[in-house]
Structure 1
């Protein structure tokens, strides 16, 4: 059997066993490559006659959400529009196939045109995080609107006010002896932690008090988080954001300047919310109509572009920098004051 780890040139003049046949010593590298190609074709034909191993080809809403978030973030950090395009394409597919806009509900699984299974908390949370990350990467309002729709369902249908926590199954779902929760990080993040983080981030963009649901859930599980923060990493990070307040970077611009993107990609800003908006109030009005808001949320209100230049406002817990047309100056202000 030919060992392909051996450099091809070293095989010149060496007898070979190719597909069960003894082959005369090849005289050149070209002959060796031809023999290898022939052997591969024979091997492929032989394998084609065997039953293929089954493949799991389900499309899951939550897993797509995780990858959408990853591609959107990676595309932003590396300036790779192709990766962002993949995130946009995946989100469009999930919205078209798994999201029922009239009912405002999400299905969990798509396979061969068949849609089924009510989505669980992880599907809403992971997909919501992916849509929100895509909004931050592109500065378009559509993924933000979808993230808000998903967050609204989380708050209305997965939160139990009596128990003060989010559950994996919806309140109107199948009646179970005990409703499950995902509080610890496993091969995927905790769905409760991801949902709480999403609600805290999106609380900036709506007149609905999404943050209250997140804070109550975190308060309910405070003992678990403090006793074992590593085991509850996603919940711990959400609890930290709730206590400290997230860093808000409101950018009023039609496009994010290339050097600003590079600065944000290189700078470690844990938990920062990049709240992009149109540069003018008239442009913002169109966004508010898309989101169904009567007035601008505080993270956007009064924060338009200055002198026609891209402008950034850096804030935490209602303490804000002056409007800056130099991102580095705004970040320096954050380091000195926040």
Structure 2
């Protein structure tokens, strides 16, 4: 039985490589035929992972029907805000009882649903058939086979263990948990906090400011997670703190880099143009996460400021004064 990976961006292609390196027969769906043909014929996705040679067990197609035929596992690797639209088109092609795996990190605008909730709703499946992969997973480093770990979360522990077995390599170590909520909240919120860290770097602030934003960002993420029923230990682990540190610190992070451009004075449109089609998920998710927090009465001041910078014309230079000037209180 094959594994279908739907989405040939940097992370989708990288995770497909991981699965193939683990010995799995992988079919990677690419929206563009030329990309699919290049992956199969030349073993490269030059647009997203230049210089990375892809394994022989990985083939690609631009036909979703071909990608999904006979797949025991379906990995969804499209951006969070387009997941519903894409999955609606694929719904009738999904194999019965396949495990559906989300690589997307975000909260859907409007519905305020987590990605696993979108998948379960659109595909018409139980939540126990949906797994989530999250952690300090910067695609380029993993594609270069630098050692890292990740978390696979699924309510059905056996499905998580099966995916763990299928994606364990000498450079990629997955752990399993059943806390899907915590895994997804950590993955979504870290993008927003990374935007704030990028803005701070663009403004010329140093390590103290970065450490403050990471730590207080983790605190507000944990508050939201607790309100939604997440296990606090999940957010202290790879899917929480681990992913947060990597995304906030690395120049490979699209959200960190996008925020840095805003901090240097670029407009939202200029920063988006410089991203060359790469999606900084936090730009949209900051709004849905802010609204989700408001729904549950959770205070998330960093998320609020990021939303105001991205969507209300608030200048990044005012961010520090806004956050530092808040009423003092005990840390916990």
Shorter chain as normaliser: what TM range?
Answer: 0.3 to 0.5
Q: Which has the higher contact order (CA 8 A, sep 6+)?
A: 2
